[in-house]
Amino acid sequence: LHDALPISWDVYFNAQKMGSYEASKDVENENITVNKIYMTTGFVCAGIIPITNQSLDLYDETDKYVEKLTTDGKGQYFLGCPGGNYKLKNSNVVVGNIAVNTSENKNINVSLIKGRLLTKDNKAYAGEKIQCTMDGKPTQYVETTTNSNGEFQFIVGAGTYKVDHFEESILVVQNQVKDLGSKATNVICVQGSVVNCNQALNNEECYFTDEGNQQISCKTDSKGMYQTFLPPGTYAFSTDKFCDAGKLTISENGVVTGTTNFNLEFYKLAGNVSINDEKYNGCMTIKSNDHEYLCQVEEGCFDCYVAKGIYNISFKNSTHTENVEIVQDTIDCDYKLPCSSVSGEVKDCTGEVIKEGS
């Protein structure tokens, strides 16, 4: 080979035409290295779903870019490269791996997150920028744009991801991809207002918590209006100040039941707690037939918001209780707890019980 080629050439033999070998020239030492090329084919699938007409980037074990791997209309790819272990990336997210050491067919399994962005009245959000980021790894993300039907999809590897809408990174859905396969979600635009005692709550952090305790947050504007994107499920609504403030449910076909305009009637409950004039530190439970709140008492002071109603208040590590009716702000509460009585035995250093009267 060396004698047959001009010394100045960098030579790459086409694997299909030259017997499946690749040759390259070492200019300094005037040596030619011949590496065997394996012609590999197979399908890229998410479970049983073929990934069609998709280009992915192939990297070697040193994280060096090798070439594009492109699937056809059936999800099949054709690849010619030296033997070794390779990883496939979609943007900078690793979506799968392939070991090339024979010319046999090799299928590549990836994961697929897909869904739709819909308005509250089920109209598509078209042309919106969507980003999918691996949880805890902000540099590993892939971006796309919703199509005319508001649909989006991401090819990823196994892991936990969050899908963000707009540049403000509003969390719209979090997918836990435990096994290789496909996961689809319709994402519904939910918007409304938050008002307390006829006053709009502006710049208030709001939380929608599903039954799996996953939390999606958004913030009201200067007029108390909010907008967020939620997948189907049942959500408890709360804010930084107000707990147990409402519920709503989104069905699989995007129907929202329950209120999205939260007209609240919460009042401030604040005061002091002491035991024999000593400041109390601990937790107090404020409970009615419909609601239950936990409030932390620090250095004898507490401050919380509760809905209108009649409540029983109990204190951690105390049998003392108080009753209070909340119909307006109640900010001058002064709870004095009695000392708790205790009983037991007193023993000396030998373990003998000290006699009565000693």
- pLDDT tens by residue, 174-197: 333 333 334 445 677 788 899 998
Res. 14: pLDDT tops 60: no
Q: What is the pTM of this model?
A: 0.50
Q: Are 107 and 155 in contact (CB under 8 A)?
A: no
Predicted pLDDT of residue 131: 82
104-154: pLDDT as tens digits: 778 888 888 877 777 666 677 788 888 888 877 888 888 888 888 888 888
Q: What pLDDT shows up at residue 174?
A: 36
pLDDT score, position 165: 65
φ, ψ for residue 113, nearest 5 deg: -110, 125
Cα 283–288–290 angle (5° rounding)? 120
Judged by average pLDDT, the poorest of 14-18, 28-32, 47-51, 57-61 is 14-18
Distance CA 56, CA 46 (A): 14
Using CA atoms, how far apart are residues 138 and 154, in angstroms rounded to an integer? Answer: 16
Q: Which residues contact 39 (CB under 8 A, 6 or more apart)?
A: 15, 16, 20, 78, 79, 80, 103
Give tens-digit pLDDT for 111-122: 888 777 776 666
Q: Which helix (H) or strand (E) holds 66?
A: strand 65-70
